[in-house]
């Protein structure tokens, strides 16, 4: 266990043990939930004000790497425009953490995938509020 503290970057450790972003936002503007092949599950909740991500939070059932990736995603996304948030990739998450184990890169992919579902949910809800706009149905088809 002592080796654990020495082999991880400060960024990784901060993101792995941060608890302030783990909450379910009531009536979020967008939600996205995904379960990975490993069995970890992440649900993201977003609030958007004036086109910017004002709140981003998550619930997670998974390993410490998944928690670190989820917190990193919150750190990278909060305050961005919805359009710019789509640019966040698993590589950005892994790069920020510096010491995410290679065999847990899928945790970054899982977090980003769940986050993208939240962004998509927000955009679909927004389209539903505009008369005549076409939304994307849950199966991903127009």
Residues in the chain: 142
pLDDT at position 55 is 98
pLDDT over threshold 90, residue 113: yes
- The answer to whether residue 65 sits within a structural domain is yes
Residue 133 pLDDT more than 60? Answer: no
Question: Do the domain assignments include residue 140?
Answer: no
Domain holding 22: CATH number? 3.90.1010.10
How many domains in the chain? 1
Beta-ladder partners of 49 = 52
Taking 50 as the threshold, does the pLDDT of residue 138 lie above it?
A: no
pLDDT for position 4: 84
Contact 68, 16 (CB under 8 A): yes
- Global pTM? 0.88
How many C-beta atoms lie closer than 10 Å to residue 65's C-beta? 24
DSSP bridge pairs for 58 = 22, 44
Supply φ then ψ for residue 60, to 5 degrees.
-145, 140
Is 100 among the domain residues?
yes
pLDDT score, position 129: 75
The CA distance from 60 to 79, in Å, is 22
The answer to whether position 141 is within a domain reads: no
30-86 pLDDT, tens digit per residue, is: 999 999 999 999 999 999 999 999 999 999 999 999 999 999 999 999 999 999 999
Read off the pLDDT of residues 114-126 as tens digits, 9 standing for 90 and up.
999 999 999 999 8
Q: State the pLDDT at residue 127.
A: 85
25 assigned to some structural domain: yes
Asked if residue 48 is part of any domain, the answer here is yes
State residue 137's pLDDT score: 45
| Domain containing residue 69 | 2-128
Query: What SS3 class is residue 32?
Result: strand
């Amino acid at each position: 266990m002592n080796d654990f503290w020495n082999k991880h970057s400060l960024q990784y450790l901060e993101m792995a043990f941060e608890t302030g972003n783990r909450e379910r936002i009531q009536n979020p503007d967008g939600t996205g939930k995904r379960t990975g092949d490993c069995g970890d599950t992440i649900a993201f909740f977003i609030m958007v004000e004036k086109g910017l991500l004002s709140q981003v939070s998550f619930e997670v059932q998974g390993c410490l790497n998944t928690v670190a990736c989820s917190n990193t995603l919150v750190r990278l996304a909060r305050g961005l425009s919805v359009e710019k948030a789509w640019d966040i990739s698993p590589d950005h998450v892994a790069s920020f953490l510096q010491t995410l184990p290679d065999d847990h890169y899928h945790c970054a992919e899982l977090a980003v995938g769940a986050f993208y579902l939240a962004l998509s949910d927000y955009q679909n809800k927004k389209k539903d509020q505009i008369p005549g706009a076409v939304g994307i149905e849950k199966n991903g088809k127009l």
